[in-house]
Structures are given as C-alpha cells and as structure tokens.
Amino acid sequence: MPFASLGLSPALVHAAEKAGFVAPTPIQAGAIPSILQGADLLGAAQTGSGKTAAFALPLLQQLQLSATQGPGGPRRVRALVLVPTRELAAQVGEVLRSLAQHLQQPLKVAIVFGGVSINPQMLGLRGGADIVVATPGRLLDLVEHNALRLSAVAHLVLDEADRLLDLGFAEELQRVLALLPAQRQNLFFSATFPAAVQALADGLLKNPVRVEVPHTPGNEPAIEQRAIAVDASRRTQLLRHLVKEHNWSRVLVFVATQYAAEHVAEKLYKAGIFASPFHGGLSQGARNQVLQEFKDERWQVVVTTDLAARGIDIAQLPAVVNYDLPRSAVDYVHRIGRTGRAGESGMAVSFVTADAEAHFRLIEKRQHLALPREQIAGFEPTETPAPPSSTDPQGTGGIKGKRPSKKDKLRAAAAAAATESPAAAHKKGS
C-alpha cells in the first residue's frame, strides 16, 4: 500500500519518500485516513512502529488546508504535541520540521522543553508558531510568561501518554487541557494502557477511532533476545568481552542509576572502549552532544538510565544490553525496542545475576518469554539465587507493580480486622 492511497497530498507523499518511508506501517495505514477526516483517535502500538509519522503527516496536511494567519501577521498555535521527555520533544519536532520543509506554504514548528534557559525559547516564539512540541511543565511556564497562547489549538496530540502519567505529569496535563478550546481534535498514542492511561483516554476522546496494532510475528521487530547468567561483580568484564567479540559498532547499555552510568562508562573507557554516560544529571547541551556523537558513531558505547528507554531513535543500532534489569516488564520492552527499528535486526542482551533471577522470571512471564540462561566461558556464575525473603515471599524481586502499596497494606489490615473472631478481638483489647 503506497502513502498516496491514504489521502495524503503529493507534497507529503514526496516528503515521506524523502524521509525514507518506503510504505506505511500498520499504525500509519490505520491512523492517517481517520486523522485526515478529523476524527479523534486512540493509537496503540509497540515501540518503533512509526507512531510519529502516523500523526505528523496528516497533521501537516490539515494545517496546510486551514491556514489562518494574514500576510505578515503572527502565527497562532493550531497544533500542540505533548511529550514526556526533552529527547522525545526534540525527536518529534525534528520529524515535523523535516516533513514540513517540502510543503509549498511554510509551517513553523517550535520545540520547547525544560532543563535549559527559557529565554531563547521565548525569543523563538516571537511571531508565533503553527505547531508546538512541548513537555508540559515548560509549556505552562511559557504560557505564564505570555510567550504563547493556546486558545486557537485545533489539534492536540498526546504522544507516549503512558509515560506522561508515569513521570507524574498528570496535574500539569490537566492544567494544559484547561487552557485549550473545547472543540478540537484529540490524538492519543500509547504503547501500554494501564488503568490511569485508559481513564485519561476515556475522558479526553470523543467517539474515537481505535487503531491497535497487536504484537504478531508479522510486525514484531527482528530482535534476538538473550539472557546471560553472570555474577554481579563480573558484569563490566563480560560487557567488554561481548563488545569485542561481536565487534559492535555501537551499543546502548542500560543501568539503574546515574552513578552506575558514570562508573561503568569510566571503566569501559579506561579499558580502551570509547564509552560515555548519558543520564538526567547532565545538562541538556551535554545530553544533546552525547546523542549526536553516538549517532555519528563517535562513541561505541553509551551507558544510560531509563532516560533513553523511550523517545530515542538511533538508526541501525546493533545491540542493547540490560546491565541492570528494568523495574518493569513494560520498561523491558521499551529498552530493547531501541534496536531492531525500521525493519533492521538487532540483539538485546540481559545480564541475569543470582539476585535478579526471580525478577527476570517475572519479566519473562509478563512478556510470554522463556529465554535459556546462557553461560559464557570464563564468566560462569558462582553465586546462587537467595531463597524468598519474608518481605518478598513470592520472589518478585521488587518488580514494579508487584510490591504491595501502602493502600494495599491498609486494605489487608482492614480485611484482617473484619474477619477477626470476637473472642480474639476481646482478648487483644483486654
């Protein structure tokens, strides 16, 4: 199916071809016609499925058909794209800018996010913008500084909606929604739909078209998944061995903390491997520089936290390594989804220590996986898994979503009190 059959203009079909889109992905084929018709849309698809182009192409076409500014007049923000991270804001904004440059009538795309000075962004918004791609907090800051108004927004996109809520943007998101016109098109994209995300979608969307791309063998990325048993103290040595054995030109390594990112990157660099840390503690300029240099293959290894688990698109990335396991099965999917993108193949390696064995088994269960535990010659583990503790009797390994919350504990205590026998209650009170 060609892009032309989806109702896109010749200019945007050409833009898609120039961007390297050979044929529409399932999410693009399902979403683009409905968006062009003005319908609200709920898009559900795994990472790397082409969600950005699924809304960017029809959004640009709609804005071309509804130009409102007069000659020399200020541009009014007609489309707003909300994203959870700075990196995703930059990535989505650049996709929109790249596609828009092929249009006969130029459209201005503003990219705004926190962590950097607000003044250049305010200057960039002089004269207005047609599309704003923003993180919620910085968007509200700009509104409070009268740098932009949202009263003319006709199209709202929530990208990575599950991550928006996971990062605690719920309150800011509601404040943004209160500033928007009631009549608008809402486009809602998420890879997962826990209860809070589904509730947000239900309250936001009006008679939405649902486009869901299930995980099937036909559309799964070609990622070889491996689980290697290793002692915790030997993970860095094993990582060095794998990088050299596979001659990976680039590899993204996930760790649990900013300190670990710095520590592991330093160890690799001292061992002669060009490695750099990447985490939220770096300035935005430093983060941008590391990413660009990684894309340019000037770094062989980037050691990162879950900051890079979403919104980072690195073409032809050969491998990712879970040096530390992710807290949740959903994060596991997003981490390994950094490789095997756009039809390429990739490898995802997880280091499974004795302490993390129960945790990884739960990830496997939730992802319907059964990976054999490999042992690499010279790195055979000597540690054995600890028995379940009294605080974790099921051996969940502390996986996100499995630990009882404070509310769960209160409910359990209330239930126990309700079922307590009158005699026992009398004895306890005497």
Q: For residue 249, give the CATH number of its domain.
A: 3.40.50.300
> pLDDT value at position 408?
46
Mean predicted confidence (pLDDT) in 185-193: 90
Rounded Cα–Cα distance for residues 244 and 328 (Å): 29
In a domain? residue 349? yes
> pLDDT value at position 139?
97
250 and 323 part of one domain: yes
Computed over every residue of the chain, the mean pLDDT equals 85
> pLDDT value at position 73?
63
Contact call for residues 306 and 277 (beta carbons, < 8 A): no
Calculate the alpha carbon distances from 107 to 79, 146, 221, 260, 386 in Å: 11, 21, 33, 43, 59
In a domain? residue 379? no
94 and 42 part of one domain: yes
In a domain? residue 383? no
Whether residue 424 is predicted with pLDDT greater than 70 in this model: the reply is no
CA angle 46/50/56 to nearest 5° reads: 130
Percent of the chain whose predicted confidence (pLDDT) is above 90: 56
207 and 226 part of one domain: no
Pick from 324, 321, 143: nearest CA to 243:
321
Alpha helix stretches (DSSP H) within 325-405 = 329-336, 357-366
- Residue 304: band (very low, low, confident or very high) from pLDDT cuts 50, 70, 90: very high
Domain that holds residue 254: 222-374
14 and 119 part of one domain: yes
Mean predicted confidence (pLDDT) in 234-240: 97
Contact call for residues 273 and 300 (beta carbons, < 8 A): yes
> pLDDT value at position 282?
87
105 and 228 part of one domain: no
| E strand or H helix that includes residue 211 | strand 209-212
Pick from 147, 201, 157: nearest CA to 52:
157
Whether residue 70 is predicted with pLDDT greater than 60 in this model: the reply is no
* Per-residue model confidence as pLDDT tens digits over 350-372: 999 999 999 999 999 988 899 99
Whether residue 199 is predicted with pLDDT greater than 80 in this model: the reply is yes
> pLDDT value at position 218?
46
180 and 311 part of one domain: no
Mean predicted confidence (pLDDT) in 385-409: 52
In a domain? residue 381? no
SS3 176: helix
> pLDDT value at position 165?
82
Domain boundary pick from 212, 247, 271: 212
Tell me how many domains the chain contains.
2
Whether residue 416 is predicted with pLDDT greater than 60 in this model: the reply is no
Calculate the alpha carbon distances from 136 to 125, 161, 169, 181 in Å: 16, 12, 7, 17
175 and 268 part of one domain: no
Domain boundary pick from 168, 189, 212: 212
171 and 251 part of one domain: no
Residue partners of 285: CB distance under 8 A and separation at least 6: 116
Residue partners of 116: CB distance under 8 A and separation at least 6: 284, 285
In a domain? residue 65? no
Domain boundary pick from 356, 374, 392: 374
86 and 169 part of one domain: yes
Pick from 333, 282, 328, 283: nearest CA to 303:
282
Pick from 192, 182, 194, 211: nearest CA to 54:
211
Mean predicted confidence (pLDDT) in 239-264: 95
In a domain? residue 321? yes
> pLDDT value at position 74?
77
240 and 362 part of one domain: yes
Pick from 67, 76, 39: nearest CA to 55:
39
192 and 312 part of one domain: no
Rounded Cα–Cα distance for residues 280 and 257 (Å): 10
Residue partners of 131: CB distance under 8 A and separation at least 6: 59, 63, 77, 78, 79, 80, 81, 96, 107, 108, 109, 110
What is the reported pTM? 0.67
* Per-residue model confidence as pLDDT tens digits over 93-102: 999 999 998 8
Contact call for residues 193 and 161 (beta carbons, < 8 A): no
In a domain? residue 119? yes
In a domain? residue 43? yes
> pLDDT value at position 353?
96
* Per-residue model confidence as pLDDT tens digits over 4-28: 899 999 999 998 888 878 788 889 9
> pLDDT value at position 404?
46
- Residue 338: band (very low, low, confident or very high) from pLDDT cuts 50, 70, 90: confident
Question: Which residues, listed in sequence order, are joined to residue 389 by a DSSP beta bridge?
Answer: 392
128 and 254 part of one domain: no
Whether residue 299 is predicted with pLDDT greater than 90 in this model: the reply is yes
